[in-house]
């Protein structure tokens, strides 16, 4: 049996290399992830963006083995967490790793906490599961980290049940729980989806400030490209189970090379004129049981060629920006001239 020493190494916090994953169905295999490679450096914040159904959450859930066993099949690739092969770990080892080396902030604060257990006990149970400290010490850690999340009267909150707290307050509790054991990596899966815009900004700043201060790496998943622009060092754009563009966040947003990235940016409300109808991307994400033969985005793209219909482009470019598109240079020039509407 392989043993796991729970210490952070000098390896990348997360290294996903060529991960390909299928969901078997009665109609055939659905290739949910196709040759996904993502690397998160130590103390780095990266973003993964794309529409619902593009594989963002599946990628991180596969990396941490949170998908139901027996319901999926990994056909290729590897996943290493601080140099450790998570795909080869047994369940007991994974339970030790989750919370200590990697923690997840889930997107539904209304459902992620146990409604029958007080907040304080949920926090102290998590802390004592991974740290060899007394209940009194765990209580102090929990109280301090709630205060660090700008929660007033942390003692009162610790005595409360989840249903007694607002959605924004519960989300802060989940962030506190994720950071409570000082993990090396936090996976934030659309943690602001259920919150209003004002609370969203506070939550994002809390995650960023805590991560920077503790040197924690963060994977931030979102369908909102504007949200990740405020938070992330590098950006991965996913479409239909593939990475279609990646690079330094500012470079990707200021000079997007893939038509899908450009379409996501054009959909931002702040880019629309007053009383102007908001833009939407026509069509839907393709059925991955029967995907297109060429570029997966081709059926929804306004500027395609015959090559786009028959051959899938590879992810190419520089160290700071890469894109999978046959016409990347043409699209980039047209985007800046305002010719792509």
Phi, psi (degrees; rounded to nearest 5) at 263: -65, -40
- Measured CA to CA, the distance from residue 30 to residue 21 in angstroms comes to 8
Share of the chain above pLDDT 70, in %: 93
- Judged against a pLDDT cut of 90, whether residue 142 lies above it is answered with yes
Task: For residue 341, name the pLDDT band (cuts at 50, 70, 90).
Answer: very low
- Judged against a pLDDT cut of 60, whether residue 66 lies above it is answered with yes
Task: For residue 212, name the pLDDT band (cuts at 50, 70, 90).
Answer: very high
Least confidently predicted of 52-61, 106-115, 236-245: 106-115
Query: pTM score, two decimals?
Result: 0.89
Task: For residue 2, name the pLDDT band (cuts at 50, 70, 90).
Answer: very low
Query: Tokens 């020039």 map to which residue?
Result: 333
Q: pLDDT value at position 330?
A: 59
Task: For residue 259, name the pLDDT band (cuts at 50, 70, 90).
Answer: very high
Mean pLDDT over residues 79-98, rounded?
Answer: 92
Q: pLDDT value at position 197?
A: 76
User: In degrees, to the nearest 5, what angle opens at C-alpha 322 toward C-alphas 50 and 18?
Assistant: 75
How confident is the model over 13-33, as pLDDT tens digits? 999 999 999 999 999 999 999
How confident is the model over 278-310, as pLDDT tens digits? 888 999 999 999 999 999 999 999 888 899 999
Task: For residue 59, name the pLDDT band (cuts at 50, 70, 90).
Answer: very high
- Judged against a pLDDT cut of 70, whether residue 329 lies above it is answered with no
Domains of the chain: 14-232 (3.40.50.300), 257-341 (no CATH)
- Judged against a pLDDT cut of 50, whether residue 3 lies above it is answered with no
Mean pLDDT of all residues in the chain? 89
Sheet with 217-222, edge to edge strand ranges? 102-105, 185-189, 217-222, 45-49, 234-239, 242-248, 321-323, 316-317
């Amino acid at each position: 049996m392989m043993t796991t020493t729970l210490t952070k190494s000098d390896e990348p916090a997360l290294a996903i290399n060529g991960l390909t994953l299928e969901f078997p169905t009665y109609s055939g295999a659905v290739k949910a992830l196709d040759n996904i490679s993502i690397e998160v450096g130590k103390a780095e914040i990266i973003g993964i963006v794309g529409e619902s159904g593009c594989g963002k959450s599946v990628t991180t859930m596969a990396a941490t083995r949170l998908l139901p066993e027996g319901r999926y099949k990994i056909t290729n690739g590897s996943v290493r967490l601080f140099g450790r092969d998570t795909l080869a770990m047994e369940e007991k080892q994974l339970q030790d790793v989750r919370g200590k080396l990697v923690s997840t902030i889930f997107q539904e604060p209304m459902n992620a906490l146990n409604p029958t257990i007080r907040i304080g006990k949920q926090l102290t149970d998590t802390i004592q599961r991974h740290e060899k400290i007394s209940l009194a010490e765990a209580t102090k850690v929990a109280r301090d980290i709630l205060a660090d999340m700008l929660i007033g009267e942390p003692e009162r909150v610790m005595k409360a049940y989840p249903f007694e707290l607002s959605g924004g307050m519960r989300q802060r509790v989940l962030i506190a729980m994720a950071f409570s054991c000082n993990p090396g990596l936090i996976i934030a899966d659309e943690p602001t989806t259920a919150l209003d815009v004002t609370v969203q900004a506070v939550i994002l700043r809390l995650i960023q400030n805590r991560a920077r201060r503790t040197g924690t790496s963060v994977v931030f998943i979102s369908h909102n490209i504007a949200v990740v622009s405020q938070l992330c060092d590098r950006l991965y754009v996913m479409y239909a189970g593939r990475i279609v563009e990646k690079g330094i966040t500012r470079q990707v947003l200021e000079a997007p090379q893939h038509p899908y990235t450009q379409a996501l940016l054009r959909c931002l409300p702040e880019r629309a004129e007053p009383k102007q109808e908001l833009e939407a991307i026509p069509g839907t994400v393709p059925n991955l049981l029967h995907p297109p033969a060429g570029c997966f985005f081709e059926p929804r793209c306004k500027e395609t060629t015959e090559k786009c219909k028959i051959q899938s482009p590879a992810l190419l470019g520089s160290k700071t920006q890469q894109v999978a598109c046959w016409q990347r240079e043409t699209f980039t020039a047209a985007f800046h001239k305002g010719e792509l509407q």
